[in-house]
Structure 1
Amino acid sequence: MNNEKNIWQIIWEYDPNGLIVVDTQMNITLVNPAFCKMFNVNQDETIGKPASTILEDLKDFQKVWEKDEVIRGREKRYHLEHHKNSETDILYVKEVIFPIRDQNLIACIMVDITHEWQRKQEMIKLRNETVSKVNEVVDHQMKVVQEIAGLLGETTAETKVSLLKIIKMVNQETV
């Protein structure tokens, strides 16, 4: 049994996902190193503090406890402005939040999807820039087509005037 507990502790310590456990009063009881790294907090200074000091909004934690349900795969954004030395100002995570009834605890697993989200935003930006450039090219082509049509119209009118003069001359000669 002792060996089993050590394995679970090792998993807790090495899990690349952020793990946080709060009590029913929404105070932090446990965090793993990955969570501390994500939010740039110190484990010892975090335990016992209200979870709202780090997570801002605890509605999902409260809902999970009150309704005894599991929330899976919810994407959430956290602002890290108040956390010094973070690489980014915003952290995007996919969360699984679940109650541990017999211990009066609520646990949350956070998978960092910030890189995915940034890549998605870059693709959206690229797509928007491409659409804008295509619209610009089409607008330019339309302008050129209108200029060509205008020139063709002018030359057609000049040709018609010339032809009418020729027809008039031919008609006068035959009369």
Structure 2
Amino acid sequence: MRRLAERRTDRILDTSPNGIVILDENLIIISMNPTFKQFFSCSDAVLGRPISYLMDPAPFEKLVSGVADRFDITATHRPYNLHCRELLYILKEEKQVVGIFINITSEQEQEKKLKEIRSQTIEQANELLEHQVKMALNIAQFLGESTAKGEALVRKLMTLSKSDEQGSE
């Protein structure tokens, strides 16, 4: 029964869409699932190496030093073009550290694209507003000039009309 449970656990780890790594108390990699290997472009050759070989060990070091007993962080691993939500915790009895890495790269990229679209939309709205204000000012100027010319013409006609009336008297 126990062997069946262990096989099931191994199968869950092997098929998980999340990268999983297990370290000893010295932060040496003792186990990792296929997804972790894929995320960090590595193979079983890194077994027995420190986690610092693949990434910044600081969060793991804080766990081992007792600063915290678990972390839930978001990190960017530039060499791997990877953005992850990382769940890190200690198995105290086993003196091991577990890291679960959830790939959020596509969500980050979508968020970045959405921010770009928002920025472009705001820029276009500002350009449209500027154009409308300029257009309104031009129309107002044109109306003002037209009114002034019309007023001058009416005054001229009135003056001519008065002088015609006075001349005919």
* 1:133 partner letter: Q
Pair 1:69 & 2:60 matched: no
Structure number with greater Rg is 2
Pair 1:164 & 2:165 matched: no
Among candidates 94, 108, 116, match of residue 125 of structure 1: 116
Among candidates 127, 149, 153, match of residue 136 of structure 1: 127
Q: How far is the alpha carbon of 1:162 from its aligned partner?
A: 2.2
TM-score (norm 2): 0.87
The residue aligned with 1:24 is 25
* 2:111 partner letter: K
TM-score (norm 1): 0.84
Q: Which runs of 4+ in 1 moved over 3 A?
A: 166-175
* 2:76 partner letter: R
The residue aligned with 2:93 is 102
Provide the rounded CA distance (Å) in 1 between the counterparts of 2:159 and 2:60.
94
The residue aligned with 2:14 is 13
* Count of residues paired in the alignment: 164
Paired residues of 1:22 and 1:30 also in contact (CA < 8 A): yes
* 1:22 partner letter: L
The C-alpha deviation readout for 1:75-114, integer Å capped at 9, x for no partner, is 111012xxxxxxxx52011111101111221111111111
Q: How far is the alpha carbon of 1:151 from its aligned partner?
A: 0.8
* 2:60 partner letter: F
* 2:107 partner letter: E
Provide the rounded CA distance (Å) in 2 between the counterparts of 1:139 and 1:26.
59
The C-alpha deviation readout for 1:7-44, integer Å capped at 9, x for no partner, is 111111111100011222222111110100111111x2
Where do 5+ consecutive residues of structure 1 fail to align? Answer: 81-88
Q: How far is the alpha carbon of 1:168 from its aligned partner?
A: 3.8
Paired residues of 1:78 and 1:92 also in contact (CA < 8 A): yes
Paired residues of 1:68 and 1:99 also in contact (CA < 8 A): no
Aligned pairs for 1:77-88 (under 5 A) are 77-80=76-79
Tell me the percent identity: 24
The residue aligned with 1:86 is none
Query: What is the RMSD of the two structures over their aligned residues, measured on CA atoms?
Result: 1.9
Where do 5+ consecutive residues of structure 2 fail to align? Answer: none
